[in-house]
Copies of this chain bind each other. A is one copy, B any other.
Amino acid sequence: MIRHVLLLQWTTEATTAQREAALDGFERLPSQVPHIQNLVLEEDEGLAEGNADLLVTMDFADAEAWRAYQEHPAHRALIESALRPILARRSALQHRLP
């Protein structure tokens, strides 16, 4: 199994509605992209300046399933419609699950 880990930081101009639309979009993804397992979304607690706003983790059976997700139309649409307009910074990593 592969875990995909994302830390996303929104722009300061991002509205609450835009932030919620991004979360809603992620929450809908597993119903649109069958490869996604165990989606977890966690928002920052606000303990420090300059933090990311959202942690996203998703699990995939293997690298091939992760690549299918990367290219999936629903994922591409979420990026273009809800993420890119409000994204200030993105950091990602994929690691093997024991």
Contacts and interface: CB of A to CB of B under 8 A. Distances in A.
Q: Which of the listed residues A43, A44, A50, A92 has the most CB atoms from chain B within 10 Å of its own CB?
A: A92
Interface string A4-46: 0101010000000000000000000000000000000011110
Given A5-B7, A7-B5, A7-B7, A91 B43 contact: no
A79 interface: no
Given A51-B92, A52-B91, 19 more contacts: A2-B45, A5-B7, A5-B42, A7-B91, A9-B91, A42-B96, A43-B95, A44-B93, A45-B93, A45-B94, A47-B63, A47-B94, A48-B92, A48-B94, A51-B93, A53-B93, A55-B93, A55-B95, A91-B91
